[in-house]
Structure 1
Amino acid sequence: MHDRTDADLLASVADGDREALRILHDRHVVWLRLRLTRRCSDADVVDEAVQDTFVAVWRGAAQWNGTGEPAAWIWGIAIRRMLGVLRGRRRWGRDRTLQESTPTVVTTAEEVVVMGVQHGDLAGALMLLSPELRAVVQATVLDGLTTREAGDLLGIPTGTVKTRMMRARIELRGALA
């Protein structure tokens, strides 16, 4: 079963195959944890987001539409889960601070940027991009991957990554002007 593609494994997970989920987890947990750690310095937040991600994969594997790479789909879940964990902890941290029982949660500069990308003007501009262009921007700019790594993740040639990034820059400049 280890030679099966991620797409095959996701289809099996959608059918309730726990072994397929275990293999998918083993394939992706290390890079997923590393990428999330680049965005959040709190290991507990990263751990919770990783766990929530694979629970969401288990529950929502049937929602993957078969386009793009499964790894990119999993990453999309992971970053949204991490932001949800951060929002929940901030909310809880503020409530506790009002009761004067614990200090507030410390936010890193990168966490502030990620939140801004998800909810600021840039979020609106990113949503105007086609899914193909948005995926390249997310992989190269937000995730810090090289064009080669982004191409591997997205299943496209390196030259296509560069071309899509150039097109995305032009469209983002127009949307943010």
Structure 2
Amino acid sequence: MSDHESWTDSRLLKVVAEGDRRAFEVLYARHAPWLVLRLTRRCADAGVVDDAVQDTFVAVWRTAHKWQGKGEVAAWIWGIGIRRLLDQLRGRSPAIIKDHEDVVVSAEEQVLLGIEYGELGTALNRLSPELRAVVQATVLDGLTSREAGKLLGIPTGTVKTRMMRARGLLREELA
């Protein structure tokens, strides 16, 4: 086992920002499997998921220096991953998707695309990053408060409090 494998995600990402390829490989090996699984829950097309994962890690390599050290690296990677999946889905016109019998756009995929462009997407973007991360983890990702807390590196009670605040702000915004 190399030194890199025992490093925290934060330390790995810091040296990835400095161009350390071995740190990037370890980060990829650590996070790509769960990212594939989570994106596959949102999109049945393995090719689209693979492209989104590849694009995610290209973005991680290129933008590692932008991570501010707040929250969990996994949550930061997930944010990039879901946006890359949406980018992949946006790149396919509904007519083209419908013409392929082996590719089915789920209702969830359509909702995700709607969130990106609709009033809800605008309202979500106006939330603070802390509140938005909780909404994404619990509502969009379907995690429990406990799971979201682990992912985001905050206590379960904080997840519940932030979700309550986010709901109130979203109600006001969408009213």
Query: Do they superpose with TM above 0.5?
Result: yes
Residues 96-136 of structure 1 show CA distances to partners (whole Å, capped at 9, x for unaligned) of: x9xxxx64864211100001111111001111211111100
Percent identity over paired residues:
65
Which residue in the other structure is 1:126 paired with?
Answer: 124
So what's the TM-score if we normalise by structure 2? Answer: 0.91
Helix, strand or coil: the match of 1:54? helix
RMSD over aligned CA atoms reads 1.8
Quote the residue 2:171 is aligned against: 173
Q: TM-score, normalised by structure 1?
A: 0.90
| Structure 2 match to 1:12 | 15
The AA in structure 1 aligned to 2:136 is Q
Shift of 1:92: 9.3
Give me the whole-angstrom Cα distance separating, in 2, the residues matched to 1:146 and 1:103. Answer: 35
Q: Residues 11 and 91 from structure 1, CA distance in 2 versus in 1: closer, same or farther, beyond 3 angstroms?
A: farther
SS in structure 1 at match of 2:91: helix
Matched, 1:43 2:46: yes
Which residue does the alignment assign to 2:155?
Answer: 157
Determine if the alignment matches structure 1 residue 67 to structure 2 residue 67: no
Query: Which residue does the alignment assign to 1:109?
Result: 107
**Structure 2 residue aligned with 1:31:** 34
CA displacement at 1:80 relative to structure 2: 1.0
> In the alignment, what sits opposite 1:145?
143
SS at match of 2:5: coil
Alpha-carbon distance in 2 for matches of 1:168, 1:103: 39
Amino acid at match of 1:77: I
Secondary structure in 1 aligned to 2:19? coil
